[in-house]
Structure 1
Amino acid sequence: MTAIAERITHKLTEAFAPQVLEVIDESQRHEGHAGWREGGETHFRVEIVSAAFAGKSRLERHRLVNAALAQELTDRVHALAIAAKAPGES
Protein backbone atom coordinates (compact mmCIF):
# COMPACT_ATOMS: atom_id res chain seq x y z
CA MET A 1 0.00 0.00 0.00
CA THR A 2 1.30 3.45 -0.88
CA ALA A 3 1.83 6.21 1.66
CA ILE A 4 -1.16 8.22 0.41
CA ALA A 5 -3.37 5.11 0.37
CA GLU A 6 -2.35 4.46 3.98
CA ARG A 7 -3.28 8.03 4.96
CA ILE A 8 -6.63 7.69 3.22
CA THR A 9 -7.28 4.36 4.94
CA HIS A 10 -6.34 5.77 8.34
CA LYS A 11 -8.47 8.91 8.02
CA LEU A 12 -11.55 7.10 6.72
CA THR A 13 -11.25 4.45 9.41
CA GLU A 14 -11.10 7.11 12.12
CA ALA A 15 -13.94 9.17 10.64
CA PHE A 16 -16.42 6.41 9.76
CA ALA A 17 -15.49 3.14 11.54
CA PRO A 18 -16.31 1.29 8.31
CA GLN A 19 -17.41 -2.32 8.09
CA VAL A 20 -15.79 -2.46 4.66
CA LEU A 21 -13.06 -0.20 3.30
CA GLU A 22 -11.11 -0.64 0.11
CA VAL A 23 -8.69 2.01 -1.14
CA ILE A 24 -7.47 1.39 -4.68
CA ASP A 25 -4.67 3.39 -6.31
CA GLU A 26 -5.69 3.74 -9.96
CA SER A 27 -2.95 6.22 -10.86
CA GLN A 28 -1.27 3.91 -13.36
CA ARG A 29 -4.47 3.96 -15.45
CA HIS A 30 -4.19 7.75 -15.81
CA GLU A 31 -0.54 8.14 -16.76
CA GLY A 32 -0.15 11.09 -19.09
CA HIS A 33 -3.56 12.56 -18.22
CA ALA A 34 -4.33 15.73 -16.29
CA GLY A 35 -3.31 15.61 -12.66
CA TRP A 36 -1.05 12.59 -13.04
CA ARG A 37 2.43 12.95 -11.55
CA GLU A 38 5.56 10.86 -11.69
CA GLY A 39 5.36 8.31 -8.90
CA GLY A 40 1.57 8.04 -9.05
CA GLU A 41 -0.57 8.35 -5.92
CA THR A 42 -2.83 10.82 -7.72
CA HIS A 43 -5.99 8.89 -8.66
CA PHE A 44 -7.86 6.73 -6.14
CA ARG A 45 -11.07 4.75 -5.82
CA VAL A 46 -12.64 4.30 -2.38
CA GLU A 47 -15.28 1.70 -1.60
CA ILE A 48 -16.64 2.14 1.91
CA VAL A 49 -19.55 0.71 3.90
CA SER A 50 -20.39 2.47 7.15
CA ALA A 51 -23.40 3.02 9.39
CA ALA A 52 -22.46 6.72 9.27
CA PHE A 53 -23.97 6.85 5.76
CA ALA A 54 -27.40 5.50 6.75
CA GLY A 55 -30.17 7.91 5.78
CA LYS A 56 -27.82 10.16 3.81
CA SER A 57 -28.01 10.93 0.10
CA ARG A 58 -25.22 10.05 -2.29
CA LEU A 59 -24.17 13.71 -2.37
CA GLU A 60 -24.07 13.95 1.42
CA ARG A 61 -21.95 10.79 1.61
CA HIS A 62 -19.49 12.12 -0.94
CA ARG A 63 -19.24 15.44 0.89
CA LEU A 64 -18.46 13.61 4.15
CA VAL A 65 -15.69 11.56 2.52
CA ASN A 66 -14.27 14.61 0.74
CA ALA A 67 -14.26 16.56 4.01
CA ALA A 68 -12.42 13.75 5.80
CA LEU A 69 -9.80 13.73 3.04
CA ALA A 70 -9.57 17.49 2.46
CA GLN A 71 -5.81 17.63 3.09
CA GLU A 72 -5.05 14.74 0.71
CA LEU A 73 -7.24 16.28 -1.99
CA THR A 74 -5.36 19.56 -1.62
CA ASP A 75 -1.85 18.08 -1.43
CA ARG A 76 -1.57 15.16 -3.79
CA VAL A 77 -4.78 13.45 -4.85
CA HIS A 78 -6.13 14.72 -8.16
CA ALA A 79 -9.13 12.40 -8.51
CA LEU A 80 -11.18 10.38 -6.04
CA ALA A 81 -13.96 8.01 -7.09
CA ILE A 82 -16.25 7.20 -4.17
CA ALA A 83 -18.69 4.33 -3.61
CA ALA A 84 -20.13 5.01 -0.14
CA LYS A 85 -22.89 2.77 1.19
CA ALA A 86 -24.68 2.03 4.42
CA PRO A 87 -24.74 -1.57 5.70
CA GLY A 88 -27.26 -3.69 3.84
CA GLU A 89 -27.17 -1.61 0.66
CA SER A 90 -26.04 -3.31 -2.52
Structure 2
Amino acid sequence: MALKITQDCINCDVCEPVCPNEAIYQGIEIYEIDPDRCTECVGHFDKPQCQTVCPVACIPLDPEREETQDELRAKYQRLTGHTP
Protein backbone atom coordinates (compact mmCIF):
# COMPACT_ATOMS: atom_id res chain seq x y z
CA MET A 1 0.00 0.00 0.00
CA ALA A 2 1.05 3.53 -0.49
CA LEU A 3 0.96 5.77 2.52
CA LYS A 4 -1.19 8.86 2.91
CA ILE A 5 -1.08 11.94 5.10
CA THR A 6 -4.24 12.71 7.04
CA GLN A 7 -5.79 16.02 8.03
CA ASP A 8 -4.01 15.69 11.39
CA CYS A 9 -0.83 16.89 9.63
CA ILE A 10 0.67 19.95 11.36
CA ASN A 11 2.94 20.91 8.43
CA CYS A 12 6.05 20.43 10.53
CA ASP A 13 8.20 19.81 7.42
CA VAL A 14 10.01 16.73 8.76
CA CYS A 15 8.56 14.09 6.42
CA GLU A 16 9.37 15.59 3.03
CA PRO A 17 13.18 15.58 3.25
CA VAL A 18 13.37 11.97 4.52
CA CYS A 19 11.39 10.48 1.62
CA PRO A 20 13.89 8.68 -0.62
CA ASN A 21 11.46 8.64 -3.56
CA GLU A 22 10.53 12.33 -3.38
CA ALA A 23 6.91 11.24 -3.06
CA ILE A 24 6.01 13.83 -0.41
CA TYR A 25 5.16 17.38 -1.42
CA GLN A 26 3.43 20.42 0.03
CA GLY A 27 -0.23 20.34 -0.96
CA ILE A 28 -2.73 23.18 -0.71
CA GLU A 29 -3.30 22.75 3.03
CA ILE A 30 -1.07 19.90 4.21
CA TYR A 31 1.70 17.69 2.90
CA GLU A 32 0.60 14.99 0.49
CA ILE A 33 2.06 11.76 -0.85
CA ASP A 34 2.15 10.82 -4.52
CA PRO A 35 1.03 7.17 -4.41
CA ASP A 36 2.76 6.48 -7.72
CA ARG A 37 6.11 7.31 -6.08
CA CYS A 38 5.52 5.87 -2.59
CA THR A 39 7.12 2.47 -2.02
CA GLU A 40 6.78 2.58 1.79
CA CYS A 41 10.59 2.88 1.62
CA VAL A 42 10.88 -0.67 0.22
CA GLY A 43 14.33 -0.90 -1.33
CA HIS A 44 15.66 1.94 0.81
CA PHE A 45 14.83 1.28 4.46
CA ASP A 46 13.16 -1.36 6.66
CA LYS A 47 10.45 1.09 7.78
CA PRO A 48 8.75 4.05 6.10
CA GLN A 49 10.88 7.01 7.11
CA CYS A 50 8.01 9.51 7.03
CA GLN A 51 6.13 7.45 9.63
CA THR A 52 9.28 7.22 11.74
CA VAL A 53 9.82 10.98 11.96
CA CYS A 54 6.19 12.18 12.07
CA PRO A 55 5.51 13.70 15.52
CA VAL A 56 1.72 13.33 15.26
CA ALA A 57 1.48 9.88 13.63
CA CYS A 58 -0.68 11.12 10.75
CA ILE A 59 0.74 8.88 8.00
CA PRO A 60 -1.19 5.59 7.84
CA LEU A 61 -1.39 3.06 5.02
CA ASP A 62 -3.86 4.07 2.32
CA PRO A 63 -6.47 1.28 2.13
CA GLU A 64 -7.44 2.50 -1.34
CA ARG A 65 -3.92 1.79 -2.66
CA GLU A 66 -3.23 -1.81 -1.64
CA GLU A 67 0.06 -3.14 -2.99
CA THR A 68 1.99 -6.33 -2.28
CA GLN A 69 5.66 -6.33 -1.31
CA ASP A 70 6.43 -7.56 -4.83
CA GLU A 71 4.53 -4.63 -6.34
CA LEU A 72 6.35 -2.19 -4.04
CA ARG A 73 9.72 -3.73 -5.04
CA ALA A 74 8.76 -3.44 -8.72
CA LYS A 75 7.81 0.20 -8.21
CA TYR A 76 11.15 0.83 -6.48
CA GLN A 77 12.95 -0.76 -9.41
CA ARG A 78 10.98 1.32 -11.92
CA LEU A 79 11.72 4.54 -10.02
CA THR A 80 15.40 3.91 -9.35
CA GLY A 81 16.57 1.41 -11.95
CA HIS A 82 17.96 -0.74 -9.11
CA THR A 83 16.88 -4.15 -7.84
CA PRO A 84 16.09 -4.10 -4.10
Q: Same fold (TM over 0.5)?
A: no
Report the structure number with the largest CA radius of gyration: 1
Q: Which has the higher strand share?
A: 1
Structure number with the bigger relative contact order (C-alpha 8 A, sep ≥ 6) is 2
Normalising by the residue count of structure 2, what TM-score does the alignment of the two structures yield? Answer: 0.30
